[in-house]
Amino acid sequence: MGRMTPTIWLALAGFVATAISFGPARMGFGLFLPTFREAFDLDTTQAGFIASLGFLAFLIALPLAAWLGRRVGQRVPVVLGAMSASVGFALVAVAQGSMGLTAGVTLAGASAGFCWAPFNDAAERVVSPGVRPGTLSAIATGTTVGVAVTGALYLGVTSGGIDWRFVWGMFAVLGLAGALLAARGVPGGRVAKSAQTTDTRSFLRREAAPLHGAALCFGISNAVYLAFAADHVVASGGLDGLPEGGAAAMIFLSYGLCGLAGLATGRLEAWIGLVALVGVIFAAFTGSLVLVALWPGGWGSVLVSAGLHGAAVMMISAILSFWSLRLFPGRGTLGFTAALIGVAVGSVLGPAVMGALADVTGLKTALLATAAVPLLAAILFAIRVPRRASDASITVGRM
């Protein structure tokens, strides 16, 4: 292992960090929600509130991570994020009431804000330009493993083979391991002073509007799906042949495994262009929400829904990373943070609003209402697809 290059160390540390922070830390609450409902007597409004607090912690952590990165380097925020995930997992594991659960979910949710954006600047420091897109895609795709492993463990919980508190204790240990790996693989030290000087207004210029709009729509679509899709399937009777709650595990297994499609994001963008690819991704988000809303009891519809959503999440995650680098060269963490703030805002608003709507109209209606958001985004991006394939590569900065 001592002969590993800095690029490999960084990719490994990033893969593990995103697996933890965007796996159980960000998605674990939605996956385990059927179990948490029973253990803590939660209604849908409470569930939506807790989910939104986790995403609010993500939002708060984003600018703090950028601030730390500019002053002490990228290692500190990533280690801090892994530690916050570990402590949050431990709190959930020992929670005796909804307050303890809320505190744990919130603290774990902050880890995603600390553990991702710093890798843009870290990649600019230690990864050569030719392999940088592949490295960033690999880091983003770590989420798929985190989600798939979390889903597999929850399947064990629903079958009665594993206690859910033991699983969250395991997550806490993995968070500690992620912190140690980040301490070894992420570069420390302050960045050059010239790289720290920036005009924050540049992140709000017209050319960046499509990036921020896509981030906001992504946040709303994904957060609502994570918070309520599995809950809707379980409440509708689950999937034939599985124990109660087993459907939730299958959803996240399909979500995680199909998310490996994110590794092909760079090639797909080169083939059809950024604008067209983003439009297809939001069409996939729309389809995933509609399928799980209308046919929550069918194996095919549920697995296709989860697969579409997982692939879309991984692809848009990779796109936000390298799109922000192209728009804001030399300001990787700040540019990516600006985009992720849009994701975080959508993630806070989505579950809270749709959770309240679901208590009045039902989860089916709330999921269909959410589907209107990515549908509108897909239409808007489709309108902007260049007429000539040769134009596809120049749409990034002037949509």
pTM above 0.85? no
Q: Where are the domains of the chain?
A: 6-186+202-394
Strand partners, 188: 73
Strand partners, 73: 188
Q: Which stretches of the chain drop beneath a pLDDT of 70?
A: 1-2, 133, 190-207, 244-245, 329-333, 385-399
At a CB cut-off of 8 Å and minimum separation 6, what does 108 contact? 24, 25, 26, 28, 54, 84, 85, 88, 89, 92
Buried b (16+ CB within 10 A) or exposed e, 290-301: bbbbebbebeeb
Q: Which residue has the tokens 């994570």?
A: 226
C-beta separation of 217 from 374 below 8 A: yes
In whole angstroms, give the CA distance from residue 179 to residue 281.
Answer: 32
Percent of the chain with pLDDT over 70: 89
In whole angstroms, give the CA distance from residue 274 to residue 256.
Answer: 23
Give the pLDDT score at 19. 92
Give the pLDDT score at 83. 96
Tens-place pLDDT, residues 96-106: 998 999 999 99
Give the pLDDT score at 266. 75
Q: How remote is the C-alpha of 42 from its chain's centroid?
A: 24
CATH superfamily of the 6-186+202-394 domain: MFS general substrate transporter like domains (1.20.1250.20)
The identity of residue 100, as a single letter, is: G
In whole angstroms, give the CA distance from residue 174 to residue 82.
Answer: 9
At a CB cut-off of 8 Å and minimum separation 6, what does 335 contact? 120, 203, 324, 325, 327, 328
Give the pLDDT score at 388. 41
- 3-state SS class at 272: helix
C-beta separation of 285 from 169 below 8 A: no
Give the pLDDT score at 78. 94
Tens-place pLDDT, residues 135-181: 777 787 788 888 888 888 988 888 888 999 999 999 999 999 999 99
C-beta separation of 88 from 109 below 8 A: yes
Give the pLDDT score at 71. 84
Give the pLDDT score at 240. 86
Give the pLDDT score at 303. 94
Give the pLDDT score at 398. 36
Give the pLDDT score at 132. 73
